[in-house]
Structure 1
Amino acid sequence: MDMPIRSYQKKLIDDLRLSLKHGHKNVLIQSPAGSGKSITMAELAKRITSNGERVLFVVHRRELVKQIKNTFSSWGVNMNLCEIYMVQTASRRLEKLMTPNYILVDEAHHSLAKTYKKIFNHFKNAHILGFTATPVRLSGKGFKDIYDDLVLGPKISWLIENHYLAPYTYYSVNLIDQTKLKKSSTGDYTHKSIENAGKNIVYGDVIQSYHKFANNTKAIIYSYSVHSCQQIAKEFNKNNIPAKEVDGKTKKEDRDKAMQDFRDGKIKILVNAELYGEGVDVPDCETVIMLRPTQSLSLFIQQSMRCMRYQPDKQAIIIDQVANYTRFGLPDMDRVWTLEDRAKHPQREGGSDGIAIKTCPNCFGVIMASYHKCPLCGYSFEAEFRKLAEDKRAELEKINLDAKEMRERKKKEQELLLRDPSTFTTFKEFAIYGKATGKKPGWAWHRAKAKGLIR
């Protein structure tokens, strides 16, 4: 049965075919989370099998196998010529698989792992076509060992403007001690340091944020441990907000029921630790609450955008309780994708050293730093701008401080040192932080200027 695909999905396939025509054997295809990669892959598999060629499709999560099989079957893929396996299963059954002409790889940013390479090396003559929203790894290692070319899909901002993704509002009320976060050898934060950073979280604060920013919406909460997820779900239920916790050890039938109850509206809150991330389709999820700090751009994009599946009149809500936006910027900012090796933390291109953003002190919305008035609540930053020259002059004039003033300044310095500079909203905060950390002269002025605090 012929079914239409979207114009940008057709363009992706056309660009892929052109790349193969130009002699590239293995191609990586980037397209944003929520842009319908499953349908794009189904259309591609349909065209391949219609030509009598064989497809091996590998996914990295067990839950996705059935979902992909249903999508492919309903789309008209010849399933006699298409095998779909979890990557671990495929790597153990290589001798029993049909020899594919094409290997399609879902969430292909994982495809440098040994299990994937084992499959690729076994079927050396097959074309490898990888699909991902985020062609980037924490290690900074590029993808040229596997892929010859990169095909880019539409930008997230374009998808929002053209009603393929839902617009969103982003709020941030930090609940953790960022200074306690420590990185592991993988580049992301250690579980122990995340536990330490979050041990003083009052789960009532999470509920308060939900009531304030997203009351009565369906929300998926990403936390950092099974125990924290269980406690959060318990707290929501105590407050008469139906919630369920699911994790990797939850029985499959119980996980399926929890997801169905969520879709049916029997529960409002689904709490998990990274279980409902890549590839999970929950179009009626309206809100995401992040309680898991990360250095992984892939994880941030997958989790933050889980609520942005399009529905008419839907306004997605992202509540960032761990200040992830200070590391990555906002989900729809433009990013540079490449097959080449990169710095270990390319996400900094969109974090505090890149696009200028700030948090409104009145509504906690995350907005562009250039705004003089918050577009969410109407709060005016003009008073701060007017005080800026006075604050700067006062700092220059006030040299001799008494003992009380010295104690107050020291206390202010200690408070600021616990914060990320991207959260500062006045020149004075930058000036105190810069002096306390030994920054070069002019650092505070340039950072305040970048945030739109100086005109």
Structure 2
Amino acid sequence: MQKKYLGSVSNNSQKIKINDLLNHIPQGRKLTYLGKDFIEGISKYHEIFSTDDIDLNEILISEFPNIIYNKKLINDLKLFNKNLIDQITQDVIQIHSEQLSDNKLRDCLIDYYDLKLPETPTIEYKLQLNSECDTTLHDYQERIRRKVINLIYRNKKKFLIHMPTGAGKTRTAAEIIIDFIRLHSSFTLLNEKLKILWVAQSEELCIQAYETLKSIYNKKGTNNISFGHFYGHHNINPSILDDSAIIFTSIQKLLINYKTPIWEKIRNDNYLVVVDEAHRSIASQWIKALDYFVQNNAVNLIGLTATPGSGSKDESVKNYGLSKYYDNNKITLMDEYYSTIDKPIDYLVKRKFLAKIERNDIVSQTSISNGISDFQGGRFKFKKSTLKTLTKDPKRNASIINIIKEHVEKNEKILVFTCGLDHNKILKTILKYNDIVSEIIDQGTKNREAIISDFRDGNLNVLLNYGVLTTGFDAPKTNVCIIARPIDSIVMYSQMVGRILRGPYNGKGNSQNTLYTIKDNLNHGDYDDLFNSFNNFWR
């Protein structure tokens, strides 16, 4: 029977009654209720520190709430104090003691001697059936993480992760890096100065990656690690050589410095290179820098891209070169059976990870067919005179302004990709005539971060830009994208569209956004087709 913790014997009336109950039991039997070690311990203490004799009944009375569960005591009470036991059971439940089981008799004694459980609050312990992780990946991201780690464990060295813009490439890569750091000890136990490089095209992309990795590592890391910054005005602190570190570097700065002594030391401890916007990584200058680090067979290379091609699906040599550089290992969205999902954009839109895009064409009367200066491998080069003509076209500009006015009235955020610096100024001036505030971002903008922050926070509705915000720009609540310039590559077009792809379940984006494309643009097709444009080069 399970032992209960009963109320203590505290008043004299209780003690007298229990003493009467125990008096009839022989002394030798009483000793068995307390146990040999207990009696021996008390006896030895009294021999040294006390002149009084041991009062066995007093000890038994104080321990009575506990020894009442001793089967020997119940049997002895029935044997040596049968009359008193019968009297108690008759008084309490009007039944002769011989009719009661030992458990029933025990309960009767507990009631009679008022040894009931004291009223104490019940503490309930709720057992969780599922964990509640603070940070988790979406299922499609988790499958990519598992696939990459599985391949690394099997000693594969190069992979290209192909995910749509807005699907969480950086977030997924951050988890892979944390797993790699943990897995690294299985390959090189004694090297505690592991270096991981994150190579990106711009300062914005470096900062974006740093913020994501810092946030995740602070939650999941098992030991502190250093973060190195080598972009913009930031330089490597030599003290980083003594620590494990993740180093974020722009390709521009790395190209100038990768053969310097400090980078040679970093290379000696480098075991993983992650390349953002990896479709650019086969450019001749990029390859020189990357090969400096990954030519060591111990180094892993992971590329991240939304477009696993160099710019056009017809540039076969470059696209096959990209595939070869990553050992033809392209990892993209997979279902629960780890089979490639044929239409990943549609899949993510239906599950609200990406926004549904309402596509519209702006009809332009301007022909650009005579303005192409070169056509090579499916990639166009436009004459400067063509872009100037489009920049100054009044009807074309009126169409753009009217669309902006329509969506500003709905208090929506609008991102415009213009034909150039002058086009930015022209549109901003016309918008000002219409009492609409807009801001410009281009390569020369000094307060770029403040403008983007105002746009992201809802203090600015219209953002005009040229040559900047195709990557490294994150404003999930952008409602409208206007591509008001001719686009010469699938990569660039898909990056622009990607600015409005983030859905409600991935970065708190919108369920639906609107895309306007100037009709004089090349028709790059459905976004799922864009995503799959380069698949033939990865088989």
User: Partner residue of 1:151?
Assistant: 331
Q: CA deviation at 1:190?
A: 2.0
Match of residue 128, structure 1, among 279, 284, 301 = 301
User: Partner residue of 1:296?
Assistant: 489
Match of residue 248, structure 1, among 414, 419, 443 = 443
**TM-score (norm. length: structure 2):** 0.59
User: Partner residue of 1:181?
Assistant: 371
Match of residue 249, structure 2, among 85, 101, 106 = 85
User: Partner residue of 1:338?
Assistant: 535
Deviations along 1:231-278, one digit per CA (max 9) or x if unpaired, are 112212221222001110111xx1111111111222210000131111
SS state at 2:381 partner: coil
SS state at 1:327 partner: coil
Q: CA deviation at 1:214?
A: 6.9
Partners of 2:391 and 2:420 within 8 A in 1: no
Q: Give the 5 Å matches for 1:302-451.
A: 302-311=495-504, 314-324=511-521, 327-333=523-529, 335-338=532-535, 340=537
User: Partner residue of 1:439?
Assistant: none
In 2: Cα distance, 1:323 partner to 1:7 partner: 40
Cα distance change on mapping 1:157 and 1:166 into 2, 3 Å? same
Q: CA deviation at 1:219?
A: 0.6
Q: CA deviation at 1:156?
A: 0.9
Partners of 2:149 and 2:180 within 8 A in 1: no
SS state at 1:208 partner: helix
Q: Residue type of the partner of 1:112?
A: I
User: Partner residue of 1:349?
Assistant: none
Match of residue 108, structure 1, among 278, 300, 315 = 278
Match of residue 468, structure 2, among 260, 271, 275 = 275
Partners of 1:48 and 1:54 within 8 A in 2: no
- 2:425 is the alignment partner of 1:230: yes
Q: Residue type of the partner of 1:178?
A: I
Q: Which has the higher helix share?
A: 2
Partners of 1:233 and 1:269 within 8 A in 2: no
Q: CA deviation at 1:298?
A: 0.8
User: Partner residue of 1:170?
Assistant: 359
Cα distance change on mapping 1:191 and 1:66 into 2, 3 Å? farther
Q: Residue type of the partner of 1:146?
A: Y
Q: CA deviation at 1:197?
A: 4.5
In 2: Cα distance, 1:40 partner to 1:18 partner: 15
Q: Residue type of the partner of 2:195?
A: R
Q: Residue type of the partner of 2:526?
A: L
Deviations along 1:310-351, one digit per CA (max 9) or x if unpaired, are 236632000112444x52112244624337399xxxxxxxxx
User: Partner residue of 1:29?
Assistant: 161
In 2: Cα distance, 1:207 partner to 1:196 partner: 17
Q: Alignment RMSD, CA only?
A: 2.4
Q: Hey, which bits of structure 1, 4+ residues long, moved more than 4 A?
A: 212-215
Partners of 1:55 and 1:102 within 8 A in 2: yes
User: Partner residue of 1:221?
Assistant: 416
In 1: Cα distance, 2:363 partner to 2:471 partner: 25
Match of residue 160, structure 1, among 344, 349, 359 = 349
User: Partner residue of 1:266?
Assistant: 459
In 2: Cα distance, 1:72 partner to 1:82 partner: 9
- 2:262 is the alignment partner of 1:96: yes
Q: Residue type of the partner of 2:262?
A: K
SS state at 1:101 partner: strand
Q: CA deviation at 1:209?
A: 2.3
Report which of the two structures shows the higher radius of gyration computed on alpha carbons: 2
**TM-score (norm. length: structure 1):** 0.69
Partners of 1:263 and 1:282 within 8 A in 2: yes
Q: CA deviation at 1:104?
A: 0.2
Partners of 2:202 and 2:250 within 8 A in 1: yes
User: Partner residue of 2:89?
Assistant: none
SS state at 1:306 partner: helix
Partners of 2:484 and 2:518 within 8 A in 1: yes
Q: CA deviation at 1:45?
A: 1.5
User: Partner residue of 2:178?
Assistant: 46
User: Partner residue of 2:480?
Assistant: 287
Partners of 1:180 and 1:196 within 8 A in 2: no
The unaligned stretches of length 5 or more in structure 2 are 1-132, 185-193, 227-243, 334-340
Partners of 2:367 and 2:520 within 8 A in 1: no
SS state at 1:340 partner: helix
Partners of 2:443 and 2:467 within 8 A in 1: no
Q: CA deviation at 1:294?
A: 1.2
The unaligned stretches of length 5 or more in structure 1 are 343-455
- 2:398 is the alignment partner of 1:204: yes
SS state at 2:210 partner: helix
Cα distance change on mapping 1:185 and 1:93 into 2, 3 Å? farther
The percent identity for this pair of structures is: 22
Partners of 1:105 and 1:111 within 8 A in 2: yes
In 2: Cα distance, 1:106 partner to 1:87 partner: 10
In 2: Cα distance, 1:341 partner to 1:195 partner: 39
Cα distance change on mapping 1:145 and 1:332 into 2, 3 Å? closer
SS state at 1:210 partner: helix
In 1: Cα distance, 2:211 partner to 2:307 partner: 25
Deviations along 1:388-424, one digit per CA (max 9) or x if unpaired, are xxxxxxxxxxxxxxxxxxxxxxxxxxxxxxxxxxxxx
